[in-house]
Amino acid sequence: MYDFEFKPLTKAPFQAGQYAELTLPVTKADDRGNRRTFTIASAPSEKTVHFGIKVPNRPSRFKQTFTKLEPGSIIYANHIMGDFVLPVDTSRKLALIAGGIGITPFRSQLIQLMNTKDHRDIVLFYAASSTEELSYRDVLDRAKAELKLRVVPIVKDSGTGTLNTDTIKRELPDYAERQFYLSGPNRMVDTTLLTLRDLGIGRNDIHTDHFSGY
């Protein structure tokens, strides 16, 4: 898991939770070329721009190039878009569900809420294969203190269970009153979506953000 921090040459307008298309100087690129989309992990109120990226044991040419960037390297970002943003209505109760690297849009949103003093009723479920995959803990600790965020870790190697209907009912008795935001690998998001539908959560109260492997 890597966090890359860049200094923008110009201020890019975006909302917390959106993504951008990045262009890197990839040599011998694969058939997908030298562009990929990544969620912006920083908040609009921050001075620098963050991207959180998971790099597998056999990374693509694109991610190999990313991990070899030197301080001062320049990359290009455009096509900022996406509707994975928090509701305008600040009274809505929220449940955020992150799987692995899917924590990145929530980093952006939580920092923005803290920086703008926007207090909401939020519970975060954070699923990961191991404790080492739990990223941005500094942000989560700050959000616990400033936003009263409640974090429910679901870590396979620590025996904290799985994210299913029983877990949600136990940890979130008022689940029927909340809007859900799901972010993570395709399979995790699809499975969790079905779980929420089994609980009777309406499709309009479920927002999804998929992360494909590169």
Chain segment 89-117, per-residue pLDDT in tens: 999 999 999 998 899 999 999 999 999 99
Rounded to 5°, angle at Cα 94 from 22 and 91: 115
How many CB atoms are located within 10 Å of the residue 165 CB? 12
- Tokens describing residue 32: 């997908």
Strands of 16-165, DSSP E = 19-23, 35-39, 49-53, 76-81, 93-99, 122-128, 150-155
How many CB atoms are located within 10 Å of the residue 71 CB? 4
Lookup result for tokens 């539908």: 197
Higher pLDDT among residues 160 and 157, named by residue: 157
Q: How far is Cα 13 from Cα 197, in angstroms, rounded to an integer? A: 34
**Residue in 210, 187, 18 with CA at minimum distance from that of residue 102:** 210
Residue 141: pLDDT above 60? yes
| DSSP per position, 150-213 | EEEEEEGGGT----SHHHHHHH-TTGGGEEEEEEEEHHHHHHHHHHHHHTT--GGGEEEEEE--
Please give the CATH architecture assigned to the domain spanning 93-211.
3-Layer(aba) Sandwich (3.40)
Residue 145: pLDDT above 90? yes
Asked if CATH classification 3.40.50.720 holds for the domain at 2-81, the reply, yes or no, is: no
The pLDDT tens digits of the residues spanning 6-65 come to: 999 988 789 999 999 999 988 887 778 889 999 999 999 999 999 999 888 888 889 999
**pLDDT > 90 in the chain, percent:** 72
Q: What is the signed CA dihedral for 45, 46, 48, 53, rounded to 10 degrees?
A: -100
Spans of all domains in the chain:
2-81, 93-211
Task: Summarize the confidence of residues 118-142 as an average pLDDT.
Answer: 93
